[in-house]
Structure 1
Amino acid sequence: MNLTELPWEPLSPAEVAGLFTETPWWTAGGHAIELAVGRPVRPHSDVDVLLLRRDQLAAQRALAGWAWWAADPPGTLRPWRPGEILPADVHDIWCRPAGSEQWRVQLMLDESAGEDWVSRRDPRVRRPVDTLTRISPAGIPYLAPEIQLFYKANSPRPKDDADFDAALPQLSGEQRRWLADAIALGHDTHPWWERLTEIGAAESRKDRLA
């Protein structure tokens, strides 16, 4: 059987929070956007957890007794051996309890340099690790929405557009400017960029008139 065809029965972000206690981690993907806006936005087929690559072995300890499968490019799942440091081109790991036929958590590894997070898509995009974290009222850590939207902006699908539409009103002017600048580094044009910069320009005019 192709392991990618096994069904997903994802944990909730609250259930994930009960597992990852040893190292910095963030709820990512669409769930991060929902935690940012404080309401459901759309259905989810999985749950994404972001870790820094340097902390990857902490995931094995957090999910002891689980089966871990690394997504080796171009997309083949293969066992992630205990204690194995994954190569830089592997950044997705699918996890399920041993003996289960259902995937429960997808781990994503991202890069860092010293105290900075570094985007795996564009190393020019970076910021201090301690600026990545937001905490929900229930105490669940999630990725700052402008960073999550930066990843979704690479090739936005309808669900990414839905997440952008939901999050945009919640973003501060500083968050919008950061996201617009980060997108502009890799895209000459982008469907989100104009909306981000239009709002930024309107806010600048308002500030000047205040």
Structure 2
Amino acid sequence: MRSDIYNWVPISIPEIHDIFSEIPIHWCIAGGWALDLHLGKQTRKHSDVDIAITREQHLLAYQYLNQDWVLYKAEEGKLTLWQDQEYLHTTNDIWVSRSKDAPFVFQLMLLNTEGTTWKYNRNHLITRPVDELFLKTKEEIPYMRPEIQLLYKGGASQVREKDYLDFQTVLPSLSPKEKAWLKSSLNLQYPEGHDWISALK
């Protein structure tokens, strides 16, 4: 078990692309970097880098990554080694380092899918076709669609200051369709209301 949760030295987006382009799975850049890739510029400092993959393909990802990296399950504030052939039924986050003593360099986020449909883990009524989850930069780097990434940020149990700032930064670039989808999804998750909904009208 590791406890050095702040020991991060993330690798670059091009390095991530080089690694994952060799793995035959659905993947994309997620988190704050996904929003910056959508905007075409870096808008703030990022302390880590997130990659989203489907739970359906996570064992295949392990087979490739385990050759050069050490992978840890992140659950309930604890980091434990992901064992060979261990199917992760409930774990959503994997932290990755070059060795058991090296800093963490990227994080895997597991997305729940059923067939060709993505299901939002916080409310299964919110879905999208898996093929609609990602967009690509001109360099062919896949990233999570902005409205879906903002749902993950706004739908968290605690919306952090950086998430609110990301929302404000990206909002002007969202199309009416993207705003409508995000508004509808937040309404489903929060029928009692959400702070971002008024800005999406």
Q: For the superposition of Structure 1 and Structure 2, which TM-score range results when normalised by the shorter chain?
A: over 0.9
Residue 58 (1) aligns with residue 60 (2): yes
Aligned to 1:51, the other structure's residue is in SS state strand
Distance 1:113 1:180, change over 3 A: same
Q: Gaps (5+ residues) in structure 1?
A: 198-210
**Greater Rg over alpha carbons, structure:** 1
2:44 corresponding residue in structure 1: 42
Report if the CA contact (8 A) 2:2-2:80 is conserved. Answer: no
Q: Aligned-pair distance for 1:6?
A: 5.1
Q: TM-score, normalized by length of structure 2?
A: 0.92
2:185 corresponding residue in structure 1: 182
1:153 corresponding residue in structure 2: 154
**In 2, distance between residues paired with 1:62 and 1:46?**
21
Q: Aligned-pair distance for 1:2?
A: 4.5
CA deviation map 1:131-153 (0-9, x unaligned): 11100122210000000000100
**In 1, distance between residues paired with 2:20 and 2:2?**
28
2:123 corresponding residue in structure 1: 122
Aligned to 2:112, the other structure's residue is in SS state strand
Report if the CA contact (8 A) 1:19-1:62 is conserved. Answer: no
Aligned to 1:18, the other structure's residue is in SS state helix
Aligned to 1:39, the other structure's residue is in SS state coil
Aligned to 1:71, the other structure's residue is in SS state strand
1:162 corresponding residue in structure 2: 165
Q: Which amino acid aligns with 2:45?
A: P
**In 2, distance between residues paired with 1:35 and 1:93?**
22
Give matches, 1:89-128, under 5 Å. Answer: 89-128=90-129
Aligned residues: 195
**In 1, distance between residues paired with 2:56 and 2:5?**
30
2:199 corresponding residue in structure 1: 195
2:5 corresponding residue in structure 1: 5
> Percent same amino acid among aligned pairs?
36
Cα RMSD between the aligned structures? 1.4
Report if the CA contact (8 A) 2:122-2:189 is conserved. Answer: no
Moved beyond 4 Å, runs of 4+: none
Report if the CA contact (8 A) 1:53-1:110 is conserved. Answer: yes
